[in-house]
A and B are shown apart, each in its own frame.
Chain A
Amino acid sequence: MRVGVFICHCGNNIAGTVDVAKVAEEARNMPGVQFATDYMYTCSEPGQEEIKEAIQREQLDRVVVAACSPRMHELTFRRTVEKAGLNRYFFEMANIREHVSWVGEDKDLNTNKAIEAVKLAVEKVKQNKPLFPSSFEVNKRVLVIGGGVAGMQAAIDCAEGGLQVVMVEKSPSIGGMMARLDKTFPTVDCSICILGPKMVDVSQHDNITLHAYSEVEEIKGYVGNYQVKIRKKATYVDWTKCTGCGECTEKCPSKDAYDHFNYGVAPTTAITIPFPQAIPKKATIDPTYCRQFVRGKCGVCAKICPADAIDYEMKDEIVTEEVGAIITASGYGLIDLDRLPEYGGGRYPDVVSGIQYERLLNASGPTEGHILRPSDKEEPKTIVFVSCAGSRDKSIGIPYCSNFCCMYIAKEAILTRDHIPDSKVYVFYMDIRSPGKGYDEFTRRAQEEYGVRYVRGRVARVFPKGKKMIVKGVDTLLGTQIEVEADLVVLATAVTAAPGAPQLAEKLRISYDQHAFYVESHPKLRPVETNTSGVFLAGCCQGPKDIPASVGQGSAAAAKVLSLFSRDMLESDPAVANVNINVCVGCRKCINTCPYGAIEEEELRDGRIVAKVLETVCAGCGVCTSTCPCGAIQLQHFTDNQLLAEVNALCLS
């Protein structure tokens, strides 16, 4: 074994508090070290040349560089040694900058510590084995989970890029939250008018297959080769026959079904088409409210359907799609009004959430665009908006800001003043967050042009008094308590993760934070990737954000997928786990504990069961290696013997 050791000065960063010449001198005495030197800036081009030349000249077969953190330059030096003809895994780095020179003050202690760090690296590299990546084919189809604006953008971009796209949407229609909005800020564009064409693109694009009213059931496989089971839920209406004429909804006798699209601000029929611009424009029966299902007698829709599309016997169907990458655009949820009882949420019908108010404003909503109080259908004259209803509140476990409420409150306030010119509109706020293009001008317009009264202060309580709701709060700029007699109260309810987010994350094998928002690879530099290769994020599932940000992330995720698929073959990371079948006893403990399901059973010719690692799925965590009782499965490059070499170097005298 001929190990070469290169001690970096890193200018004065290391050499200032570590005697690098002494470290090199001690390194020369270490068993197996053929050559050791120190150098000013090892990562620079001449520095790397020096390493390559030394490898040739001294016929080195392994290299240790003592410098900065491997998280910084391990890849750099791996490439260097590879260019000199060595396998890149015959390289180790000793961190003597971040962990030694920058944190210790005593030069003698630092030098000793650096020498020991080098010794550790030398002992480890002597145990290293050459590793060779393998290539595997990639299936150039992509799954998009979620048919909101982020998902649709991702799907369209991928489809336009020539990829086959499968979209899964759990509600009966695509469109997501944006389809529910009346207008969008700051341009006050009609939401469905700008969204509609995208929805049509998705439904009509040759490359996009849409599974609506469907959910992801199970995901097997690995990047480039996923097998996804999708549950197409029973709509009890044959969508191949349904024309979306709407006769059934007009005649359905069950009229108090919960309306998911309208967030319950008004009831709907048991058989329903969610909204006029729904795509697919097909009817769906909610069996919890349908009299045929609950009582066993009705059948009105089946009788009158001109296309004979009703099928009460329909069952869920499972289809399997094979894809190479997955974009998760599963959207967000909102907290229940019940969680805000101090604001009257869930108690009084005239206290509504922002999204419910949006449905009242919408011309295709339950009140045909007239703002009417849910209690008595009268037009309200005094409307109060409450910002941060739940957001930024540690006491209910939502410490974060929900991103877009300040903006939509301004929009809804402006629209209210438009709809009801003699209305008095109040907004109770803590801050006004309007960072986007034209956003601050928009919120100013609400105050200056539209006369919306912004009150800086929180609301303490909302309670009824006769037909009115009393909003009791404080105006901190005036320094006084204030009470407003409102006809209607709108709460900007906090954004949460979408219902079922943790379960979906587990199927995808991605991480989620304590609020169940999905975790990106890097908060600054990799916002649409996850740490699971092949799975990308777009939109609010990653954190609350407004429409332009969601659309941007949709396109970004599509770009990532297109770049992933730009080659026909992908290279797998060879630092994965490996099973020695002579030692494996088939106890299956590794299979049961692998976080990625990357290990499966293999039956040998003599009937023995052993473990087998799926190299492309293995992420290299090493839980299997620490679980295995007989050391049969070893994570390459961090094997027991390699780590033991380091422990022994430190402990045995």
Chain B
Amino acid sequence: MSVVAGKELRIVGFLCNWCSYGGADTAGVSRFKQPSDLRIIRVPCSGRVDPLFVVKALLNGADGVLVAGCHPNDCHYSEGNFYARRRLEMLKKFLSYMGIDDKRFHYTWVSASEGARWQQVVTDFTKQIHALGPLHQKEEAGD
């Protein structure tokens, strides 16, 4: 699986089914153009996103990871995004300590009606990752 060399970087998105995936759909319905880098993985709730998924993606070839969920208080499952908020905030502060630029990971809250906002998030985050360039976490010759 390789990105289109020179044009795209590998950006993985974890979107919650009820709000942010719906927001991305709304952006599509409204034909809001976005850079094509982002690849979306659907999860039922942002609370399903174990910080380890973000780490796994970044260590194994992703250049950027985006997690989006419902706005706090609007979670379809009442509390899932409250857990997500704490855990992802902790991860965001931790990444740079290990030498991974925390600007490569972004989490945000997008509701199903916020198509324009989704377009903004994807465009801005893609720009941010392109400004940082590829993240070389390629393994050296293993033993």
Contact = CB atoms under 8 A, between A and B. Distances in A.
Q: Touch between A and B in complex, CB under 8 Å?
A: yes
Interface of A: 69-72, 95, 97-100, 102-106, 108-110, 112-113, 116-117, 119-120, 509-514, 519, 531, 593, 595-596, 619-623, 625-627, 635, 638, 640, 643-644, 646-653
6 contacts: A103-B28, A511-B73, A638-B44, A644-B53, A647-B12, A653-B2
B94 interface: no
Given A103-B27, A113-B39, A119-B1, 10 more contacts: A69-B21, A103-B36, A595-B78, A621-B80, A623-B79, A626-B50, A643-B41, A644-B53, A650-B57, A650-B61
B5 to A, nearest CB: 11
B60 A109 contact: no
A487 to B, nearest CB: 44
A651 B78 contact: no
A105 B33 contact: yes
In the A-B complex, the 10 residue pairs with the smallest Cβ-Cβ separation, listed nearest first, are A98-B28, A622-B48, A651-B61, A621-B77, A626-B50, A595-B79, A623-B47, A651-B60, A102-B28, A109-B36
B136 interface: no
Contacts of B119: 103
A142 to B, nearest CB: 22
B48 A626 contact: yes
Contacts, number: 152
B7 interface: yes
B4 interface: yes
B18 to A, nearest CB: 8
Given A511-B74, A647-B12, A627 B83 contact: yes
B60 A511 contact: no
Interface string B1-38: 11010011010100001000110110111011110100
Given A595-B77, A651-B61, A646 B22 contact: no
Given A71-B21, A650-B62, A651-B57, A638 B33 contact: no
Contact of A622 (B21, B32, B44): B44
B29 A102 contact: yes
Nearest to B45: A621
A625 B48 contact: yes
Nearest to A620: B44
Contacts of B8: 109, 112
B28 A647 contact: no
A69 B28 contact: yes
B56 interface: yes
B132 interface: no
B31 A102 contact: yes
B34 A104 contact: yes
A563 B112 CA distance: 28
Interface residues of B, number: 48
A395 B4 CA distance: 51
B41 A647 contact: yes
A511 B36 contact: no
A643 B36 contact: no
B42 interface: yes
Given A103-B27, A647-B12, A623 B73 contact: no
Given A104-B36, A110-B36, A646 B76 contact: no
Q: For B24, B25, B78, which residue has the most chain A Cβ atoms within 10 angstroms?
A: B78
B53 A643 contact: yes
Given A511-B73, A595-B79, A621-B80, A643 B43 contact: yes
A513 B119 CA distance: 25
A112 B3 CA distance: 8
A108 B43 contact: no
Q: Which of B24, B42, B87 has the most CB of A within 10 A?
A: B42
B66 interface: no
B49 interface: yes
Contacts of B83: 593, 623, 626-627
Contacts of A72: 25
A217 B80 CA distance: 24
A70 B12 CA distance: 18
B1 A653 contact: yes
Contacts of B121: none
Interface centre among A511, A621, A625 (most CB of B within 10 A): A621
Contacts of B42: 70
Nearest to A509: B78
B75 interface: yes
B43 A638 contact: yes
A623 B1 contact: no
A619 B18 CA distance: 13
A404 B1 CA distance: 59
Contact of A621 (B7, B31, B33, B47): B47
B56 A647 contact: yes
B55 to A, nearest CB: 10
A647 B60 CA distance: 9
Given A117-B39, A653-B1, A531 B76 contact: yes
Of A71, A640, A650, most buried by chain B (CB within 10 Å of CB) is A650
B4 A108 contact: yes
A112 B4 CA distance: 8
A71 B22 contact: yes
B40 interface: yes
Contacts of A95: 25, 40
A57 B25 CA distance: 34
